């Protein structure tokens, strides 16, 4: 009925543990789990699965699970982020013998954790969740790695040395995308500035279109969106300005101007993880699964027609460096907008600090709302 209902899913892009720590946490700290009964998988969405963004990316993962693992997979849409409603759905599934439940929004996290305690022999995977346990694992992806590469593409494309990005709300996982995008562009030319604007909504195509136009009016000549709607890309296509999409390959919205899209490939996480659960070798990570370019959970969509070979080569090189651990977008020397140093040369931002990132880095033009 109201805007807030239309896309709670995208709001979901959060994860992270109370004291979110290293995803690389040693296996010794992980739990062990045994599945009882034949595997039956259920996906629960907070809104429509075909939402053009977050849910649709997960839905692609679901289809891969169904095809590759040949297990029964059920889908339920539109279960609101309320404990009573979600718990009812989980109870029903468990009663019918479903034993692998995938929740798709951070809002499900706490009630899922309660259900996990009640059903110790059922496996729970929580996309962008915050809770973990012996039979529950939250998962999210290092999207900032993808955004760093997109930033390189933008840095290569800009002539005015000003690029723009449209985002939802000022939360950690969004802030790191913006910062990483700005840092990627600066790796091309340290003079590049990034205009960042929050729409304060996860889904408002009209407002997003207006904000996109406002960013273009500030002489930005590359436009990226961190949201599920394609309004910003429509505006960029109309203005003939290079653009960057998110979550899915958005080239259909801006076939001429698109550079690339930062996309999720959840099947790269879901297929192996569910296979492990079925095989009995699954050990849920104590602080959740947090994968990136190295497993391909985050990727860049195919480049657009205007991207030069030189750019492609630069991006490929940076990608290999990140995978090899030689490059981290948030490595020192890293400064905030106001010049204070976050990390000295040689250091990097750890995962806990990533999750609570509440600042813009040097080079971003925009205001972070006060706490």
Partner 1 sequence: MLDTAFLVRRQNPGFLLTSLSYAGGLLVGLTVSAMLLVHAGVPASALVDEFLIATFLTSDGLSQTATAALPLVLVGLASAVAMRVRFWNIGVEGQLWLGAIASTWVALNGIGPEALRLPTMFVLAALAGAAWIAISLFLKLRWGVNEVISTLLLGSVAFLLVQHLLFGVWRDPANSFPVTATFPEASWFSILGWGQLHTGIFLVAGIALSIWFVMEHSRAGFYADAVGFNAKAALATGLPVLRTAVGLVLLSGALSGVAGMMIVAGTEHRLNQSVGNGYLFSAIVIAYLARAKPLWVIVVSFALGAVFTAGNVLKVFYSISEAMIVLMQGTVLMSILMAQFFSTYSLKRPN
107 binds partner 1 (CB under 8 A): yes
SS3 167: strand
For the beta carbon of residue 133, count every other beta carbon within 10 angstroms.
17
CA 157 to CA 221: how far, in whole Å?
8
Q: At what angle do helices 172-188 and 309-324 cross, to 10 degrees?
A: 120
Please pick, from the candidates 36, 91, 321, 350, the single residue that binds partner 1 as defined by CB under 8 A. Answer: 91
Contact call for residue 82 and partner 1 (CB under 8 A): yes
Residues 159-188 that bind partner 1 (CB under 8 A): 169-172, 175
320 binds partner 1 (CB under 8 A): no
Would you count residue 75 as binding partner 1 (CB under 8 A)?
yes
Nearest Cα to 193, choosing from 153, 170, 164, 226?
Answer: 164
CB of 199 to partner 1, least distance (A): 13
350 lines the binding site for partner 1 (CB under 8 A):
no
Token readout for 325 is 């651990």
Q: Does 356 bind partner 1 (CB under 8 A)?
A: yes
Q: Which of residues 130-149 bind partner 1 (CB under 8 A)?
A: 130
43-72 mask for partner 1 (x: CB under 8 A)?
Answer: -----x------------------------
Among 9, 15, 122, 364, binds partner 1 (CB under 8 A): 15
- C-alpha to C-alpha distance for 290 and 287, rounded to whole angstroms: 9
Q: Is 101 in the site for partner 1 (CB under 8 A)?
A: no
Taking the complex as a whole, the smallest distance from the CB of residue 128 to partner 1 amounts, in Å, to: 9
Of 10, 17, 258, 262, the one binding partner 1 by CB under 8 A: 17
SS3 state of residue 29: helix
77 binds partner 1 per the rule CB under 8 A: yes
The C-alpha atoms of residue 358 and residue 101 are separated, in whole angstroms, by 32
Taking the complex as a whole, the smallest distance from the CB of residue 230 to partner 1 amounts, in Å, to 23
**One symbol per residue from 185 to 214: x for binding partner 1 (CB under 8 A), - otherwise; what is it?**
---------------x--------------
Cβ nearer to partner 1, comparing 79 with 157: 79
Q: Considering the rule CB under 8 A, would residue 364 count as an interface residue with partner 1? A: no
Buried b (16+ CB within 10 A) or exposed e, 118-129: ebeebbbbbbbb
Which residue of 23, 79, 192, 315 would you call a contact of partner 1, by CB under 8 A? 79
**C-alpha gyration radius of the chain:** 20
Helix (H) or strand (E) holding 117: helix 109-118
| Burial class of residue 357 (count of CB atoms within 10 Å of its CB; 0-12, 13-18, 19+) | buried
Q: How far is CA 31 from CA 179, 268, 270, 319, in A?
A: 34, 21, 18, 32
Asked whether 223 and 164 are in contact (CB, 8 A), the reply is yes
Stretch that binds partner 1, among 63-71, 206-214, 283-291, 350-358 (CB under 8 A): 350-358
- Rounded to an integer, what distance in angstroms lies between the CA atom of residue 199 and that of residue 3? 13
Question: Which burial class, exposed, middle or buried, applies to 50 when counting CB atoms under 10 A from its CB (0-12, 13-18, 19+)?
Answer: exposed
Q: Would you count residue 5 as binding partner 1 (CB under 8 A)? A: yes
What sign has the CA pseudo-torsion 317, 319, 320, 322? positive
Q: How far is the CB of 267 from partner 1 (least distance, A)?
A: 21
Stretch of residues binding partner 1 (CB under 8 A), selected from 18-26, 30-38, 220-228, 292-300: 18-26
Nearer to partner 1, 63 or 96 (CB): 96
- Select the span of 32-40, 81-89, 206-214, 235-243 touching partner 1 (CB under 8 A): 81-89
Q: Which residues bind partner 1 (CB under 8 A)?
A: 1-2, 4-5, 8, 11, 14-20, 48, 74-85, 87-89, 91-93, 95-96, 106-107, 110, 130, 169-172, 175, 200, 355-358, 369-371
């Amino acid at each position: 009925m109201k805007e807030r209902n239309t896309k709670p899913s995208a709001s979901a892009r959060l994860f992270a543990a109370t004291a979110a720590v290293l995803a690389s946490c040693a296996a010794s700290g992980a739990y062990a789990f045994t599945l009882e009964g034949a595997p039956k998988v259920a996906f629960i969405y907070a809104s429509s699965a075909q939402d053009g963004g977050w849910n649709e990316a997960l839905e692609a993962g679901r289809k891969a699970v169904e095809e590759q693992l040949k297990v029964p997979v059920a889908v339920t849409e539109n279960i609101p982020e309320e404990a009573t409603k979600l718990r009812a759905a989980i109870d029903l599934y468990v009663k019918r013998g479903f034993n692998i439940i995938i929740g798709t929004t951070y809002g499900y996290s706490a009630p899922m954790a309660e259900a996990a305690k009640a059903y110790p022999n059922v496996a729970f995977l929580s996309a962008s969740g915050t809770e973990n346990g012996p039979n529950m694992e939250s998962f999210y992806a290092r999207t900032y790695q993808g955004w760093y590469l997109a930033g390189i593409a933008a840095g290569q494309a800009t002539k005015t040395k000003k690029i723009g990005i449209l985002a939802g709300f000022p939360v950690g996982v969004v802030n790191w995308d913006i910062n990483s995008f700005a840092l990627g562009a600066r790796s091309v030319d340290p003079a590049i500035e990034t205009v960042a604007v929050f729409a304060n909504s996860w889904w408002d195509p009209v407002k997003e279109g207006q904000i996109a136009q406002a960013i273009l009016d500030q002489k930005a000549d590359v436009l990226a969106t961190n949201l599920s709607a394609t309004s910003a890309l429509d505006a960029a296509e109309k203005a003939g300005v290079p653009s960057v999409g998110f979550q899915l390959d958005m080239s259909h919205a801006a076939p001429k101007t698109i550079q690339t899209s930062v996309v999720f490939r959840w099947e790269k996480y879901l297929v192996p993880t569910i296979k492990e659960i079925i095989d009995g070798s699954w050990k849920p990570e104590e602080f959740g699964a947090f994968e990136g370019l190295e497993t391909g959970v985050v990727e860049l969509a195919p480049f657009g027609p205007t991207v030069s070979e030189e750019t492609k080569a630069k991006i490929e090189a940076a990608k290999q460096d990140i995978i090899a651990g030689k490059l981290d977008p948030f490595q020192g020397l890293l400064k905030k907008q106001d010049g204070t140093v976050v990390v000295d040369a040689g250091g990097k931002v750890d995962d806990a600090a990533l999750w609570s990132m509440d600042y813009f880095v040097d080079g971003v033009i925009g205001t972070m709302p006060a706490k």
